């Protein structure tokens, strides 16, 4: 009898252990209603300023969406990307993925200053990035989702993290997947989130190698449609034109839709990191096909994966701070 009791107690401890653990997971503290009482107009203010900025320049939607990604992959979603260099802080804005590329910082500044007027030192810069990413997606025709909130802002930045943890366009499929896995994201998240490249631009320098000397043998990438490659070479010569801009999705460059996946299936993915999703891995290729065939499925998974990405190691409780100016620590 005593043995049975011990067995039952041991069994119930084992059975309920995962529940307790889940309740304390690192993402458990964010929730959409976080500012409902402390700053009820917060979401409206963010949306309004993002809408104004996107109306002025459509590409801004893409740039703001990307900022959240580049924030979350470096020490978590803590607005580290927004810090300028000063004192011991070396700005992530100087990193390889961000230099001459990341943009939208002025729009975040404008949102922050409006929020500081409405409710001083209440809404974090990290949450502004998460909300602006969602609003940018919706404004360009993509899915909507409730954004879990309550992130706080870092007191530091990581230039090396920005260089090492954000995937590069010439990384192999395996390297890219590994970088996602290090963030707790899987292959489904990788393919769905890459669908962000349905909007926005890339510079010639981000894909030139594919056009001229893909594997060091003086030949273009043979997984790239040759007539598409010929068009790209016009604006992206062997040397020079590094900053020339190209649509990531040439079919509907400013509309958030699944044409990115259709392009990949037609060997017209712009970046090497786009094309490898259909050429280097069976599971990934199946996902590309699924999203190319079914826009709703892409939208549903995109929303889910964005929430998951937004949950990467947030600072909560009394960790970090609420910056008054997103560019510097208080």
Ligand X SMILES: *[C@@H]1O[C@H](CO)[C@@H](O)[C@H](O)[C@H]1NC(C)=O
Among 18, 23, 87, 216, binds ligand X (CB under 6 A): 216
Going by the DSSP 8-state scheme, the letter that residue 84 receives in this structure is P
Q: Identify which of 250, 32, 228 has the alpha carbon closest to the alpha carbon of residue 127.
A: 32
Q: Is the separation of the CB atoms in 199 and 246 below 8 Å?
A: no
State yes or no: 76 annotated in a binding site. yes
* d(C-alpha 64, C-alpha 190), whole Å: 19
Region near ligand HEM per CB under 6 A, out of 15-23, 166-174, 228-236, 316-324: 166-174
3-state secondary structure of 42: helix
Q: Out of ligand HEM, ligand X, none, which partner does residue 213 contact, by CB within 5 to 8 A per kind?
A: ligand X
Region near ligand X per CB under 6 A, out of 138-146, 195-203, 212-220, 268-276: 212-220
Going by the DSSP 8-state scheme, the letter that residue 83 receives in this structure is P
In this complex, which beta carbon is closest to ligand X, that of residue 213 or of residue 295?
213
Partner residues linked to 31 by β-bridges = 149
DSSP 183-226: TT--HHHHHHHHGGGGSSEEEGGGTHHHHH-TTSSS---TTS-H
Among 34, 35, 69, 260, binds ligand HEM (CB under 6 A): 69
Q: Which tokens go with 304?
A: 């889910």
Region near ligand X per CB under 6 A, out of 29-37, 100-108, 148-156, 210-218: 210-218
181-200 binders of ligand HEM (CB under 6 A): 190, 193-194, 196-197, 199-200
Q: What mask of x and - would describe binding to ligand HEM in positions 240 to 269, judged by CB under 6 A? A: --------x---------------------
129-168 binders of ligand X (CB under 6 A): 168
Q: Which of 47, 59, 70, 308 is catalytic?
A: 70
**Given the structure tokens 């449609």, which residue do they identify?**
225
Which residues fall within 8 angstroms of residue 189, CB to CB, at 6 or more apart?
180, 305, 308, 309
How far are the Cα atoms of 16, 82, 158, 159, 168 from residue 164, in angstroms, in the given order? 38, 18, 10, 9, 9
Among 27, 163, 164, 170, binds ligand X (CB under 6 A): 170
The verdict on 273 binding ligand HEM (CB under 6 A) reads: yes
The verdict on 27 binding ligand X (CB under 6 A) reads: no
In this complex, which beta carbon is closest to ligand HEM, that of residue 271 or of residue 303?
271
Q: Out of ligand X, ligand HEM, none, which partner does residue 320 contact, by CB within 5 to 8 A per kind?
A: none
- 70 belongs to the catalytic site: yes
| Residues marked as catalytic | 70
Contact residues for ligand X (CB under 6 A)?
Answer: 168, 170, 213, 216, 218
């Amino acid at each position: 009898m005593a043995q049975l009791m011990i067995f039952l107690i041991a069994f119930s401890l084992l059975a309920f252990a995962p529940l307790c653990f889940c309740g304390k997971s690192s993402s458990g503290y964010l929730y959409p209603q976080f500012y409902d009482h402390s700053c009820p107009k917060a979401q409206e203010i963010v949306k309004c300023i993002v809408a104004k900025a996107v109306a002025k320049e459509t590409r801004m939607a893409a740039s703001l969406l990307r900022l959240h990604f580049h924030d979350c992959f470096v020490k978590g979603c803590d607005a580290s990307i927004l810090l300028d260099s000063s004192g011991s802080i070396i700005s992530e804005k100087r990193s390889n993925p961000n230099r001459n590329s990341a943009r939208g910082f002025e729009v975040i500044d404008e949102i922050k200053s409006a929020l500081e007027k409405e409710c001083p030192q209440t809404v974090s810069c990290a949450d502004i990035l998460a909300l602006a990413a969602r609003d940018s997606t919706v404004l360009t025709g993509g899915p909507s989702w409730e954004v879990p909130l309550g992130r706080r802002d870092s007191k530091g930045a990581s230039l090396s993290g920005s260089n090492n943890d954000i995937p590069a366009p010439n990384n192999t499929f395996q390297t890219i997947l590994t970088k996602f896995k290090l963030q707790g994201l899987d292959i489904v998240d990788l393919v769905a989130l890459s669908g962000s490249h349905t909007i926005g631009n890339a510079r010639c320098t981000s894909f030139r190698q594919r056009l001229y000397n893909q594997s060091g043998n003086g030949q273009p990438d043979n997984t790239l449609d040759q007539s598409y490659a010929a068009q790209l070479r016009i604006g992206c010569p062997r040397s020079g034109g590094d900053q020339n801009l190209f649509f990531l999705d040439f079919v509907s460059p400013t509309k958030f839709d699944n044409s990115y996946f259709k392009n990949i299936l037609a060997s017209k993915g712009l970046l090497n990191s786009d094309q490898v999703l259909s050429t280097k891995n069976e599971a990934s290729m199946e996902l590309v096909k699924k999203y190319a065939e079914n826009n709703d499925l892409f939208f549903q998974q995109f929303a889910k994966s964005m929430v998951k990405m937004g949950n990467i190691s947030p600072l909560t409780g009394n960790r970090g701070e609420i910056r008054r100016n997103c560019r510097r620590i208080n």
